[in-house]
Structures are given as structure tokens and as C-alpha cells.
Amino acid sequence: MELVHAIETRVSVRSFTQEKIKTEDLKELVRRAGLAPSINNSQPWKFLAITNQDLLKKMAKAVSERIGSLPVKDKEDTNRSFLSRIEWYSTFFEDAPAIIALLMKPYESVLEKGAELTHEEIDRMRNHPDMQTAGAAIQTILLSAVDLGYGACWMSAPLVAKPDLEKLMKVQSPWSLVTFVAIGKPFGSSARKSKKALSEIFEIIP
């Protein structure tokens, strides 16, 4: 598939058929993610594929429970309808054939070896290069998913239950869960979101 076609047809997919994802495809997605740019080529990542449906259900339950325990702003909203909507967007991965989770460990910047600046100062100054690195890897997975005939959705909402998820996934220090992608064969078609016109988002500085 042409890259531009994958870019133009990618949408967030949140409903999947039950068809399993081939292990070779999971490996290929991660192989490509591993080619993404990273801060100082540190490649501070590890990718965990989870296809175990029981584990996915346990993870979703942990997310639901966390959301259920969040205090609500609108005290009139006795049905917690706002949080219920968020809950679905945070837990639909339980019905996905797989998720690919991105774990990262702290990177060391070249600058901190020579400059009198703390890691945190450099991190803030450079706008969190580790998170930028994560974005490059995840976008590579999303586009590659389209290329291989899958649909996927980037998910950060479940991170409300990060400690519980890390426990269930047996993530150990120095690794930590950054985000994940739900993936599978799309069930039905997902609506394309409208995107801003080029004229709105682009400017050439003469």
C-alpha cells in the first residue's frame, strides 16, 4: 500500500471482529515501530502484545473501577453519565483481539552529561522528548496497521489505572507503561473525523 493511502484512510477503529491477529503481523508492526526515530537513538522502548482475552477483561475492569472511583464535578449528575461515556472510550479494548502496549524506560540526554542542568530541566526545556519518541513509534504502528489490513486506536484514557495495569501486565522498573494501541480487523466502518484545512494549520514564514 502506498504510504499516502495509509495516511489518508487511517481512522481510529474501536470495534473489531473476533478474527485473531497473526503473530507474524504483531511482530511486523513492532519491527516497524522499532525503526521510528527516538531521542539520541536511545530506543527506550519495549512493546508488549496482549492477546489473552481474560487479561484484557481484567485490565478493562481495573480501568472501569478507577473511573468509577473518580470524584464527579457535577454533583447533579447522579448517573455519572459524563464519566460513563469516558469509561467506554477507556475500556473498549477488552473486545479487541489484541493490544500493543508501549513501555519506556528513562532516557539519558547527551546534554545532561555536560551541562549543569537536571534531567527534569532538560526534559521540560525540550518538551519531553521521551513522549515525542513514543508518538513516533505509535504513529508507525497505526499506519502499519492500515497497511497490513487492520484497524487500530491509540489509547491513553486507560492510563487512569496505570498502576493496576502495570501490575496485571507484570511491568517492572525501570519500565513503565506509556500508552497502548487496540488493534484488530475493523467491524463495520468507522466514521472519518473532519480535519482542519491546510490553510488553517500551515504557514510559511518568509
Ligand X SMILES: Cc1cc2nc3c(=O)[nH]c(=O)nc-3n(C[C@H](O)[C@H](O)[C@H](O)COP(=O)(O)O)c2cc1C
Nearest to ligand X of 117, 190 (CB atom): 190
By CB under 6 A, is residue 98 in contact with ligand X?
A: no
Beta bridge partners of 48: 101
Sites for ligand X among residues 64-93 (CB under 6 A)? 89-90
Distance CA 96, CA 123 (A): 34
Residue 187 touching ligand X (CB under 6 A): no
Helix axes 129-147, 23-33, angle to 10 degrees: 140
Size of the site for ligand X (CB under 6 A): 11
In the bound complex, what is the minimum distance in angstroms from residue 110's beta carbon to ligand X?
27
- The residue within the footprint of ligand X, chosen from 18, 40, 132, 156 (CB under 6 A), is 156
Q: Which stretch binds ligand X (CB under 6 A): 32-40, 66-74, 152-160, 163-171?
A: 152-160
**Phi and psi angles of residue 160, each rounded to the nearest 5 degrees, phi first:** -55, -25
User: Nearer Cβ to ligand X, position 111 or 168?
Assistant: 168
Tell the burial category of 170 from Cβ atoms under 10 Å away from its Cβ (0-12, 13-18, 19+).
exposed
Of 63, 143, 153, 183, which one interacts with ligand X (CB under 6 A)?
A: 153
Q: Is 14 in the site for ligand X (CB under 6 A)?
A: yes
Q: How far is the CB of 159 from ligand X (least distance, A)?
A: 8
Using the rule CB under 6 A, give the single segment among 22-30, 50-58, 149-157, 165-173 that binds ligand X: 149-157
Picking from 148, 168, 164, the residue whose alpha carbon sits closest to that of residue 33 is 148
Paired residues of 45 in beta bridges: 104
Among 39, 102, 157, 165, binds ligand X (CB under 6 A): 157
- Cell numbers given for 63: 480501568
C-alpha dihedral (122, 124, 129, 131), degrees to nearest 10? 150
In 154-169, which positions are buried (b, 16+ CB within 10 angstroms) versus exposed (e)?
Answer: bbebbbbbbebbbebb
Q: Which residue is nearest to ligand X (CB)?
A: 157
Q: How far is the CB of 190 from ligand X (least distance, A)?
A: 7
Shortest gap between Cβ of 197 and ligand X (angstroms)? 15
Question: Could you say whether residue 193 binds ligand X (CB under 6 A)?
Answer: yes
How is 30-54 classified by DSSP, letter by letter?
Answer: HHHHTTS--GGG---EEEEEE--HH
Binding site for ligand X (CB under 6 A): 11-12, 14, 89-90, 153-157, 193
